[in-house]
Structure 1
Amino acid sequence: MTLQMDLPTADDYPTRKAPEPCLLYRRDPVVWPGAENGTFGADELSDYERRGYTQARSLVTADEAETYRSELRRLGEDRALREDERVVVEPTSDEVRSVFEVHKISQVFSDLVNDPRLVDRARRILGSDVYVHQSRINYKPGFGGGSFYWHSDFETWHAEDGMPRMRAVSFSVALTDNYSHNGALMIMPGSHKTFVSCVGETPENHYRASLKSQHVGTPDQESLSLLAERHGIDVLTGSAGDVTVFDSNCMHGSGGNITPFPRSNVFIVFNSVENACTKPFSAYTARPDFLGASDTTPVGR
């Protein structure tokens, strides 16, 4: 028997509802009006608008990056923390894959999510005060770091968290050097202006499986091929301390790491306080707070 989901009535980005995938035009700004400039150069903001991402080189100092790496190691080695649902291990090993809600677990990362170097940039892009929708650290150790298949974060946040608009931005703070061969982030530049509507009904408690290996909510190969042919693929290499800022709807992913060189990052999602999540658009219940925060208290104030 099919249950009737209690969903919002207005949905500009329907997904997981039709038997066939489709491509939809973006109906939201990329850079929202309402905030003064001063954190981005004109070229940086123009790049972000056009490509859906920009990179701030050496935004975090070498000493700060080492502090974050030390905290990452501490959290990864905390055996008691392994019992916490916020810690996700690789599907084929006991290696830590991700730790979520790190700004509530660690004072070090709490300070980072309130850092004006990040928060002011998020405000400039989103045109308002911002809160943390999600934070996590991603481990990708040498000889074993798993892949993250192509996806748009907004598709999941919209379908399963109830995020109404494309008014969120992600910050990836590199804690290690990113090479083309150690599982670096890949983005299809310009893909943020097209929404890929996916197929497949959201299973109950889908997040438990999807955090290790996602299948529902991933784009079909035909749509991916079309976007790749239209936009190409950028491999985002750089040094520890670089910060990649990218739109919530960018099509992105990363390969596994079979090299000896680890690739780890801190990942922070800022959402506009004017874009608070409602009921999920394509799921029966919302994901837990550590994946999609219900607390919209502004950060950096």
Structure 2
Amino acid sequence: MTLMDTRVDDGYPTRITGTPERLPRVHPTVWGTEAEGPLDAATLAAHDAKGYTVIEGMLSPGEVQTYWQELVRLSSKEVAAGDERVITEARTGEVRSVFDVHETSELIAELVRDPRVLDRARQLLGSEVYVHQSRINYMPGFKGTGFYWHSDFETWHAEDGMPVPRAVSCSIALTDNYVFNGGLMVMPGSQRTFVQCAGETPEDNYRSSLKDQRVGVPGEDDIVALAAEHGIDQFTGAAGSALWFDSNIMHGSSNNITPYPRSNIFLVFNSVENPLREPFAASAPRPSFIAGRDSTPVTR
């Protein structure tokens, strides 16, 4: 299948040469029902409206400590040296993210299958699910670099070939999230608008975009318009809290200049009914450690 073939039925065109537009989303935010999982009808309705849900205390303090020790192990020089799955900060060279951790860590593989995680993912997507992406994110005190405003789905669609926004992310805090240490900001309700981005995707764009994304980000006018319409919420909470958010919600984070680090486990689930195709706006798909192409369902 060629790049041109995939664009024939592309409902979310992006990386365009003309003037970007804000397009209405034509697919649901919530695909499942109350009967299909642990989230009640009111929580599902709120998630449908806002595009995100916070689960306080999803992990116990003891579990947080166990996963924190695993996070330290996975970022150690002995484990991370020379591994392409390890992304470093452009300015300092320190570890920024480690990808594919559900394949390299049995602890995180167990977390993916944990009912507290898997059952919510299945319910929100209304189907069996597989892991599109997993990583651990580090934002150390004083020098942690944020992520500019973006929609994950825009990148996953353009560069990975995800057909529609039937994916959900789970960000599990391993450190306390304050309003001042670079916590994730989201625009509630913005998941209902797909923001086109301008510019052609460079070859092997992931090598630079995972450190500092320049292509696939919205224009300032679009950010202003979305913020005016939806406002901005910020994820705060104790270590062990989890933020579930839609793949198309506009989100970002600022730099962390406080002494308090902010780290998390990041799991992305995609519906098995939404498997990846060829990229919609790139010459070749990103590596499988960034975008899993095996849509075998996760089972316990």
TM-score category by the smaller chain?
Answer: over 0.9
In the alignment, the residues of structure 2 paired with residue 55 and residue 35 of structure 1 have an alpha-carbon distance, to the nearest angstrom, of: 17
CA–CA separation in structure 2 for the residues paired with 1:162 and 1:240: 33
In 2, Cα distance between equivalents of 1:218 and 1:10: 23
Provide the residue aligned with 1:146 in structure 2.
145
Counterpart position of 1:62: 61
Structure 1: distance between partners of 2:102 and 2:37: 26
Aligned equivalent of 1:75: 74
Which position in structure 2 is the counterpart of 1:111? 110
State whether structure 2 residue 294 is matched by structure 1 residue 289.
no
Structure 2: how far apart are the matches of 1:296 and 1:107? Answer: 19
Contact 2:156 / 2:162 at 8 angstroms: preserved in 1?
yes
Deviations 1:168-225 (A, max 9, x none): 0000000000000000000000000000000000011001010100011000000000
Aligned residues: 298
Shift of 1:297: 1.2
**Contact map agreement 1:187 1:250 (CA 8 A) in 2:** yes
Q: Which residue of 2 aligns with 1:266?
A: 265
**1:29-40, aligned counterparts within 5 Å?**
29-33=28-32, 36-40=35-39
Cα deviation for residue 80 of structure 1 reads 4.3
Instruction: Measure the CA separation in 2 of the matches of 1:86 and 1:6.
Output: 30
Cα deviation, residue 116, structure 1: 1.1
Identical positions, percent: 55
Residue equivalent to 1:84:
83
Shift of 1:75: 1.2
Is 1:230 the counterpart of 2:229? The answer is yes
Query: Matches of residues 245-256 of structure 1 in structure 2 within 5 Å?
Result: 245-256=244-255
Q: How do residues 174-193 of structure 1 correspond to structure 2 at under 5 angstroms? A: 174-193=173-192
Maintained 8 Å contact 1:6/1:284: no
Deviations along 1:109-161, one digit per CA (max 9) or x if unpaired, are 11111111111101111110000000000000101110100000000000000
2:158 partner amino acid: A
Residue type matched to 1:73 in 2? V
Counterpart secondary structure, 2:71: helix
8 Å contact kept, 2:33–2:41: no
SS of the equivalent of 2:98 reads strand
What is aligned with 2:274? Answer: 275
What CA distance in whole angstroms lies between the structure 2 residues aligned with 1:127 and 1:243? Answer: 20
8 Å contact kept, 1:22–1:197: yes
Match of 2:121? Answer: 122
CA positional deviation for 1:6 = 4.2
Aligned to 1:199: 198
Secondary structure, aligned partner of 1:195 = strand
1:37 Cα deviation after fit: 3.2
CA distance in 2, matches of 1:50, 1:291: 29
Q: Deviations over 1:94-119 (max 9, x none)?
A: 21000000011111111111111111
Distance in 2 (CA, whole Å) between partners of 1:290 and 1:77 is: 19
TM-score, normalisation: structure 1: 0.96
Check 1:33–1:178 CA distance in 2 against 1; reply closer, same or farther (3 A cut): closer
Q: How does 1:7-22 map to 2 (within 5 A)?
A: 7-8=5-6, 9-22=8-21
Q: Deviations over 1:30-55 (max 9, x none)?
A: 11147833411222212110000010
TM-score (norm 2): 0.97
Q: Secondary structure at the match of 1:148?
A: coil
- The Cα offsets for residues 250-286 of structure 1, whole Å up to 9 and x where unpaired, read as 0000001000000000000000000000010000000
- Counterpart in 2 of 1:155? 154
Q: Is 2:37–2:122's contact at 8 Å kept on the other side of the alignment?
A: no
RMSD: 1.2
Structure 2: distance between partners of 1:148 and 1:33: 30
Letter in 2 for 1:235: Q
Unaligned runs of 5+ in 1: none
